[in-house]
Structure 1
Amino acid sequence: MILLFNFYSIAKERLFFILIFFFSSSHLISQTNTRDSLQLKLKLFSENAAETTEYVSILNKLAHSYRFINPDSLKFYADKALNSSQRISYFDGEIEASIRQGDYYSDIGNPKKADEVYKSIQNQLLINEHPKLLVELLKSMSLNHFFNEDIKKGFDSSYKAISIAKNNNLKKTEATLRHNLGYVYWSNNLYDEAQEEYIIADSLWNISGDAMDLAITKSNIALNALDKGDLKMARVYIDKSIDFLAKTQNLLWISRIYRVNARYFVAKRMFDTALSWNQKSDSILKLIDNPRDELQANELFSKIYINKNELKKAEPYILEMHSLAKKINDQRFIKQSYFYLKELEFQIGNLPKMITYQRAFDSLSLKINVAGKINNLKFLRAKQEFDKEQLRIKLENEKKLSQQKSVNRVIVFALIISLIIAMLIRQNNSNQKEANRKLKEINSTKDRIFSIIGHDLKTPLNTLKELLELFKDKAISPKEMIALTPRIQNNVDYSTFTLNNLLYWAQSQMDGIRADPSKMNITKIVADTIAVFSIEALKKNIQIRNKITAEYIVDFDCEHLRIIFRNLISNAIKFTPNNGEIEICSDSTSIHTTIKICDTGIGIDENTYSKLFNQDKMYSTKGTNNEKGTGLGLSICKELLQKNNSLLKIEPNSPNGSCFIITIPKT
């Protein structure tokens, strides 16, 4: 429902303002046609003896259409809708019908009973969430409060309804509520507040309304601007309203906007133009039976002709205005007619009548002015109380929000501290676990080192020591000593080789290995290494085939490269049976150089392969002739190759043994 024009009446020495509304489903000019259409639909339902949700909806719409027109008809259809809704258990229909019953009590001047009905409905809607019906209820409650001059409650219900409509994207409903509030402000001369609400309503209608909605809102913005004295704004919205009304062909509202336009030209003191527009408005009104609009048109004619000093032309309009005002008991227009009648009698020199009209005008003016001031004062006080209450609620909410934010900050801070502590504990546990693991590794490494020193190094050295003591004590002859020299040589070579591996491995565990690359000839180093192990190979009758013919120069640490080849060739000899073969070949591309050391040995099964580079435990197996090993060789090779940006790849279980592939990038 959108509030339109206002007027005042005096009753029992108190001022009551009467509000005229139009309904969003049917504008005033078309309400009769709408009711006829609804009555026809209702008749069809009645003939079919059908009670459905649609039937209830028609009854509720009919009840709504009689609001402010015929309270008895409103009550009749609301009761029928309620009974039908209860029979078919239609909750929405029952609630809407109950709202219409509350409207009935509000319309007949029983706001207390209306409020009781509305509150009983409100309790049901708070339990059953239904925003559309709740907004409709609050809208009716706000009007009842305004009728009963309980302005504070009226504002409270209106703004609650607006909040719910906004939160549920009910733009048309919010626009109606905003427009109603705009009217309430305008009728109490709060033009700035009225303009703000009207403008919001207009923007919402632009999204969800039709041409009629937009035309009425713009018309009321224009009227508000005129009363405010903002003629520039009034001109803009008069033109916009006329454009939209042209699309609707709604004669009543076209006549009204023409009358607003006439008022604009009166304000501009362009009385001939004002007269032309009011005549257009009046010619349309003759097609419509609407006494109140006729009254306003006659008042405007009177004002225009008096300003033009054409009293004879003004006289019939003044008399008609006086007659209509008394007929519908509009005190404001009765007062205005007394003023114009006094002016007429003054011009013709009839002083007794002039004095009579002057006294009537003064008396009624006093009543209306006093009542108006009392009403406006009550309104302003109620508005002030409402604003103060809203400010208090806002400050309380801000205080609660601030307190909640403080609590949240403390909670967040505590959570952060707890998280940091938990992370530190977890990190400490992780560090402890890592330290325990490393300690375990160190202990394992220590045990392994001592095992190597105690067995693999100590035994050959003790043997050498014993031989030297025997030779010193002349227990063996020089000839026997010479005969034992190859064995001594072998023990010394093995010990030296093992000791070197052990030192490099220990260095790697302490992250102490540093590569010092230089240009190295791989071909030469491979040949030198083969020569070192030629005796070992000869003992097992293993043939080493060196197929590297070209010279390959790479950037590599010299000592590292020697250790790598010694370990790999030593391994190949160790795990190749007697009469086997070892083949060393190479390949070169523009990117890298590849060296392959392949043997016809026992190969490497998957279980052994998975243990070769185990950092937690060194793994060693005996050779084909029970040769001992430390389990360090391959780990050292891998570590040294990584330090020189190179790779070691092993192909286990190849058809002819194992193949170790070294890939060295070219720079």
Structure 2
Amino acid sequence: MSNFTVSKSSIDSLLKDVNQKSGIEQIETIEIVLGGAQVLTVDERAMLYKLLFDKVYSLGDEYQIGKALSNYGYFLTLTDRYQEAKDSIGKAIEIFKKYDYKVRHAFALSQLSLLEQRTSNYNKAMELNLKAYSMFDKDTISKYIREFNKYEQTKRDSIGFILSAFTIITTDFGLLFYELKDFDSAEDKFKECLNIAEAIGDLNRVAGTLSNLAMLEEKKDNLDYAVKLYLEAIETAKKVGNLNYIANINNNLGNIYSQNGQYPKSITYYQKAIDFYAVNDLKSPLLSTQINLAYVYFLAGEVPKAITVAKESFDSAKSLGSLQFMSKGAEMLSMFYSKNGNFKEAFEFLTIHKEYNDSLSKNIYNDEMFRMRTQMDFEKKEAQISILSKENSKKQTQFTFLVITIVLIAIIAIIIWNRYYSISKLATLVRKKNDELEHANQILEQSAVKLKQLNETKDKFLSIIAHDIRNPLSVIIGISSLIQDKQIIFDDEEYDNLNGEILSSAKNLNDLLQNLLLWSLTQRDLISFNPEQINLKGLIDNTKDLFKINANHKQIKIISSIPTGMTIFADLNMLSTILRNIINNAIKFSQINSEIKIEAFENEYSTTLHIIDNGVGMTQEQIDLLLRKEKSYSALGTLNESGTGLGLLLVNELLAYHDGTLEIQSKLNEGSTFILSFPQKK
């Protein structure tokens, strides 16, 4: 655990109350206070978490330990301590996975997604949210919402937690869509959350969701309706004492009134938010709101106040090391000092802003520096001329001639400079427009390619849905109908066979859906690639276990000869998917009562896997079709097993992430060898 800075507070009474309880009651008491921790300072929360960890570790309950780690990670995220937060939530996820605590696991993934979102890693955040979202059964969620008030209190508390976790994940989806400017999808998610929160009486979530919906209306320029929603959210948050929500909403109201030119109202709401952020040591929102307040003071003509607030924000950003807020603060100060006529300070802060913001236009930067340097040079020369005029009053004629000469030269120089500057500016504008046209053409070309890929993806999905998903579903529906109608009486053996058919169809359907989901992620560049050193023998053994039933059904032995301790540098999830698809194909095309061998070799350049079967084999033409990356190829197995060909298409795409290769060696009616090559870690 990290060291905490603890302040003396009213929590002393809580400590006495906790010490009078025992075991799990102590933990529950602390969690209740943390659940309403909007009225606590950061130090007080830290103190409570330290106490909580002391209790859960002394109790030795891993579920309680995982829950504490997960919630502590969320607290660290909100205080911008991202690496510590990631470590804490990661440990919680390991515990929840170990004991199959699915709801807590999904909830922790959602907390990790929020962390990635706050650090602008939207692809990773979307991947984590999708994984968490898929862990809930949507029909069960709908039933819980409809019948929530019918359950007894104990059952309602349990279901309430499940629904709260689901709304948090759905909210994160909405916020991701908002960041990606897909406002319609964001609105759908937020309204879904609002319905659930109102159904279970979660006023915190109601307030937060109303605020999110108000943000959307603000983006649509429906400012009056946005204000109405924000005020409604504040009233809801007041009912549960959620001061953090109220502060965030005050900041948003300040933004709206600033846009409307209602500066006094804007300043009032910004100041309310700043007071809360400062007391609770919430650095990022504090800096952001200070910059907003400084700009409103500037717009209202109160430049000295604007400078004071902006300077305070800039100094805080420097101590925090936030380049974003340092750059913005420096830009504001440069503008404010320039307005006051303090060109030296304006120039210094403009230089600082340039250092932290390379995206600032070079021409604007150079023009501003030239203007300020000219101004300072002019003031210096004016003072020098005044001194010279006093010292050389007897040589007035010569001095006048000298001044006239200097002025004429200056005028000529200015004329030449202006012509040069105008030509340069025009040339720069032409180049910029040409670059914009070229960029637009590139975007159009990329869009055309993307559209073609999307059409191919859509056609592939429709083909799979029309045939390969419908077939196993038809088997399941057909057999289930026979059993339900009871028109035919089956003996035990027939029931076993029917159950086997249902199980096989369901597993095929599940494998297909998993491949479809992963393939769709690769098509949209949403998949995360995290290579690491993996124990190859352990992974192969685990993968073999997944296919025991399928292999036994065809009396096939899967034999692996992987050296103990051999590792491979790859993404664990991707490599698992690759192996599952290759081994599944080997079983599909192997003869009954045959063998499949898995071997591995390594050298200083690569690690190579060989999957060898004694199946039907292939012609060179079939091999060429399989290795095509733009289209899939499928054939029936030795027991007429069907497939989509999506598996090998997915294998090729996942191998590309690793810079790996797939080679196929085969002879018709003799079998095939699939050779997977992965480069060693550089």
TM-score normalised by the chain length of structure 1: 0.42
TM-score normalised by the chain length of structure 2: 0.41
Asked which structure has the greater CA Rg, the reply is 1
